[in-house]
Every structure is written in structure tokens, then in C-alpha cells.
Structure 1
Amino acid sequence: MENTKYMLILKIDEENYALSINDIDRTIQALEITKLPDTPPTILGVINYHGQIIPVINMRKLFNLPEKEIDLTDIFVIANTSKRKLCLVVDGTSEVIKYSQKDVVDKSNISKGLKPIKELINHEGNILLIYDLDSFISLEEDEVFEKAMNK
């Protein structure tokens, strides 16, 4: 029996990005972000989500896309890393896609300069990149965030 997995397709500036559904807690409408002083440019600030303070990641900065103001129609994806929850700002989500091991493409020849990619998936003739959430905040950025939170 094949091991079936699922990914959520995220839309940012007409581009598609994918995350494993196992890494996602939920999606919510955009909320007010509280800015923090002295944080890395990839961290927009924090949100209070059911009493939990979660850093908000600037996905546009992370992927070198044009900046835009956060709009009420934007979606926040609450996701889990091995260390903490993150809030990812995206323009929207499109669909959940099912895939199996036979759809996974060898990624050994992918440039090491790209944000770490968990898997490459061949889906209906297109290659989808499933990103490793732990790569979205570096160890240094995480330390700066922690210091900003404790001021």
C-alpha cells in the first residue's frame, strides 16, 4: 500500500509554494500584527493567537518577492516548526494536493543556495517545491527574535 501524503498550495504574488499538511496547524484571516523592535527583516512582528505569541514571517522578503502591505484578504498560515509555531503571510491558498512516493523527484542536483526544500513533487507535469519550515528562521534570527521578545 502506498504512503499517501498531502501538501497545501500557498499563493504569494502569483507564485505557488507548498507545505506539508502535517506542518500546518490552520489558516486564518489576517490579524493585526504587533511590531517588535530590533527584529530581522524576515520577521514582521507577532500576533496573539489564542494567548500564544507567534512570530509573523514576511514570506515576500524570504522569497525575494515585491513587498506589499498586508490586506484583510490575506491569509495567515499557522504552522509548526521543530522549535515553535510560525505565522506565514500569504495572498491565499489554492488547494490540498495528495501525492505519494512515486511522485517525489530526486533533488540531489538542486542548488544549495535555495531555501532548503523538503521534497520536489511531480504533480500533473509541474514540479512543486515543498519547503522545510525550519529553514524559514535561521538560528541567528531566532536568537534576535528571542531577545526582542524579552525586552
Structure 2
Amino acid sequence: MQALPLLGEFVIFRSGGHIFALNVGSVLKVVPAYRHSILPEAPATILGIVVYDGQIVPLLDSAALLRSGLRVAPGLESRFLVVRPNDRLLILCAEEVVGVRSIALGPYGQPEPIGAGMMRLQGLGHHDDDLIYIFDPEKLLLLHEARALDKAMQEHGA
């Protein structure tokens, strides 16, 4: 059997029954989850805000980024992935961080329909027998979400 081409090194994490990945170069740090504050009127993909390194940073729900309606709040074993895709610091909540792994390109099996969440993906990959949704760091926070987030933060003094 011929080896499948590798896409590179990725931080692999789980949330909401799915396995996700971010290119290792886009993850600044992984830290244990800690207290966050709810931000009323924030987009559905935002769990709230946290203070990280003296800054107020939005906390994104990685499961909700993929599929609207799916929501996973941080638990005792959760981890925060600190990323800076553009000029904005973001934190993704993961139920579990598996580690840094190489991801192979295809075959994928049949991914479940996820709708609008597909626009946030760079692609699909797999590790062992698991389908992995690879996030595009630049699309974690879409323009309309960033505007709604900024408005909510301004209105609530965050």
C-alpha cells in the first residue's frame, strides 16, 4: 500500500464529538481552561470572554464553529488554544487536546453534512482512522461575527 501524502504538523483537538486541527504554526499556546465571562449579544460561536495576558480575548466554541446549534462549554479537562490569525488574539475551547500530529491527505470517508461550517475549513484530513476537520485560522472569526463581537464588547464595557 502506498503511503498517503502528509499535510504537515497540526495541533489535534476534540470537541462536540468531532476532531479538529489547526496548523501548529498558528497555535501560540495551549493552556488549561479557566473562568470565562458570558458576553450577552455575542455571536453564537462565542462562549464568552477571558482575560489572557492582560487582554480581554473572545473565547470561541470550536464545536459551534463547525456546526451551528452545537455548543460545548469548558469543563474541568478542557483546554484553551491561543491563536492569533490576524491582528486579533482568539482563544478556542477544546474538550481535549490530543497533541501535535502529522495529518495525511485523504481518503476521508463520508463527512457528515455540516453546512455553513465548511467555510471555516482549510480542508479535511485523517490520522489513524479518524476524520479531521482542519480549521483555516483566518476564518475562525468571520467578518460579520467580528463586527457583532466588537459591538457586544463595546456595549458591555469589555
The residue number in structure 1 matching 2:143 is: 139
1:45-91 CA distances to partner (integer Å, 9 max, x unpaired)? 11101102110012232233754442121111111212312111111
Report the alpha carbon displacement of residue 16 of structure 1 after superposing the two structures with TM: 1.1
The root-mean-square deviation of aligned C-alpha atoms, in Å, is: 2.9
In the alignment, residue 46 of structure 1 is paired with which amino acid? I
Deviates more, 1:122-131 or 1:24-33: 122-131
Divergent runs of 4+, >6 A: none
Distance 1:59 1:126 in 2: 17
Q: Which of 65, 78, 84 does residue 80 from structure 1 map onto?
A: 84
Q: TM-score, normalised by structure 2?
A: 0.75
Q: Look up the SS of the partner of 1:11 in the other structure.
A: strand
In the alignment, residue 13 of structure 1 is paired with which amino acid? G
Report the alpha carbon displacement of residue 123 of structure 1 after superposing the two structures with TM: 4.1
Number of paired residues?
145
Q: TM-score, normalised by structure 1?
A: 0.78
1:81-105 CA distances to partner (integer Å, 9 max, x unpaired)? 1231211111111121135xxx445
The residue number in structure 1 matching 2:25 is: 22
Which 5+ residue runs of structure 1 have no aligned equivalent? none
